[in-house]
Each structure stands twice: as C-alpha cells, then as structure tokens.
Structure 1
Amino acid sequence: MERKGSVASPANKGYFERFASTVTQATGSSAAFIIAFFTVIIWAVTGPLFHYSENWQLVINTGTTIVTFLMVFLIQKAQNKDSMSVQLKLNELIAATKGASNRLVSVENLTEDELKVLQDHYKMMAELTRQASDLRQSHSVEEAIKDTAEKLEDEMGTGHTL
C-alpha cells in the first residue's frame, strides 16, 4: 500500500535539490559531452589566432578548473543520494526476507572494525558452506555451523556438536 507523500514530487524538493538533479542529468548527457568536445576543438583551433598566448591558455585552464570544482560537489551529492537509496532498498530486502540476517540492516553505519568482524563471520560461513558443497543450504553462520555439525555427527555417528 502506497503511503500518501511517500515519493517526493518535484514540488516537495528544495531549490538546490531540483537544481542539482537537473544539472547532474544535463551534464551526464551526450549533448553535454558534444558541447564540451567542441569547446575544446574551438579553443584549439583558435590557438594560432591568439599566437598560443598565455591568455589563450588561461581561458581553457580557468574554465575547466571552475567547471571541475563545481561538478565535484554535484557529483558527490548525486552519489550520496544514490548510495542512500540503494542502502534503503537493501535494508528493505533484508528486513523482508525470511532467514536473512537482520544484523546487516544499516551495515553502512558500522565502524571499519565492526565491518571486519562481519566480513570474517561471512568468510567462515562461506567456508563452512563450501565444505558442505551445497551453496543453497545456509543463510547464517549459525545455520552453517549447525548444518556442518549435524553432517559431522551423521558421518561420525558420535552425537557431538561443534
């Protein structure tokens, strides 16, 4: 069921949000590339007219520096928004999937050390699953350990667990 107002309409976005989205889309287009390409061509062709002067070089250097400086911030804003959107979608999938480990919801907010612990956890799960040779069997480290212990019990007939 769609909640009223759950998707931001253009009217709900702030001025900078609308501006950044428009500029990001425009500068990522084929037309923008063609304009930039022909700007460089025109600049290069006019070199002999201006005797390849320092001012002639300064025009392209200043222009590209300004554009690059501003685009870094617009690109970062777009990447931040895209990253947040992807993280939210992944969180929804994890939360909605039975058997998925909820410890991964909002994993992007963990410290690097905490991420390393999780990475080691999943490496162990992958190794246990690989040893069991059926990649579709386990959903968590705990299940992988349990499945491996049960298989070892069956093979050895000892009844011991890991």
Structure 2
Amino acid sequence: MGTQSAFTRVAKKASVFTGQPACFMLALGTVAVWGLTGPLFGFSDTWQLVINTGTTIITFLMVFLIQNTQNRDTEAMQIKLDELIRVSRNANNALLDLEELEERELDALRERYEEMARRAREVKQARTR
C-alpha cells in the first residue's frame, strides 16, 4: 500500500471539512453576509452575480470531490466484501467480482437469489405451522 497522492490527501481533508457543522455554518454565514450587503449594493446585477458565480464554482468542484470520495468508499467496501466471501467456507467465490458483470447477468443472479430467499421463507413458514 503506497503513499497517497496529493489529490487523495486534499480530497479526504476537503470531504471531512465540508461534512462538518462548522463548514455549514461558514456557508450559511457567507450567504447571510451576502444577503445583508444587498441594500448596500442596491441589489445590483453584480451583487447577484457574486453569489451565483461563487455557488456555481463551489458546486462544480464539490461534484468531483463527492464522486471521488464515493468511488473510494465503494471500492474499499467492495474489497472488504470480496475478502469476506473469499474466507467463507461455503461461499460462492464466483461472486467476488460481481461489479464487473453486465446488467443482464446481475439481474439473473439477483433473480436466482430472490428465488432462494423465497424458498427459504416458505420452508420457515412450513416449519412454524
């Protein structure tokens, strides 16, 4: 496991910071200051452009930050699940890389497992009667 890239380090720190109440309060404070300065600037087009441009840029950057964080989290979770499948004695190791299958293949597997679950419920209900 190598060292983290500069982007990964920055993305992690940014995602931790932006998920904190303090960051929300900072954003709320910024919007409040902007709103309170409206009369000072006569609610001009430039005044409106400042908030529109700022929020657009932040939103644009946050999309990539969130996607990077989500991809990393999903990949880590997938590896952990793969390891649990791998070490389970009765596990079907063919399920280790399901994320690589086509949609139709995933649908077929899901239907197979739903059928297994339905049969297991029927057996359980028959035993409790």
TM-score (norm 2): 0.91
- Other-structure match for 1:3: none
Which of 46, 50, 61 in structure 2 is aligned with 1:55?
46
Of 15, 30, 43, which aligns to 1:39? 30
Larger radius of gyration: 1
Q: In structure 1, which of residues 90, 105, 114 is the aligned counterpart of residue 96 of structure 2?
A: 105
Name the one with the larger helix percent.
2
CA distance in 1, matches of 2:92, 2:119: 17
The structure, 1 or 2, with the larger RCO (C-alpha pairs under 8 Å, 6+ apart) is 2
Residue 108 of structure 1 and its aligned partner are, at CA, apart by 1.2
Q: What runs of 5+ residues in structure 1 fail to find an aligned partner?
A: 1-5, 135-162
Q: Residue type matched to 1:99 in 2?
A: N
1:49 partner letter: L
SS at match of 2:79: helix
Shift of residue 101 of structure 1?
Answer: 2.0
CA root-mean-square deviation? 1.3
Q: Alignment partner of 2:43: what SS?
A: coil
Deviations 1:87-118 (A, max 9, x none): 00011111111212222212111110010010
- What is the aligned partner in structure 1 of residue 84 from structure 2? 93
> Structure 1 runs of 4+ off > 3 angstroms?
none
Q: Are 2:82 and 1:129 aligned? A: no
Give the share of equivalent positions with the same residue, in percent: 47
Q: Which residue of 2 aligns with 1:71?
A: 62
Q: Does 1:16 align with 2:7?
A: yes
1:15 and 1:90 map into 2 onto residues whose CA distance is 28
Stretches of structure 2 lacking an aligned partner (at least 5 in a row): none
The residue matched to 1:13 in structure 2 has which SS? Answer: coil
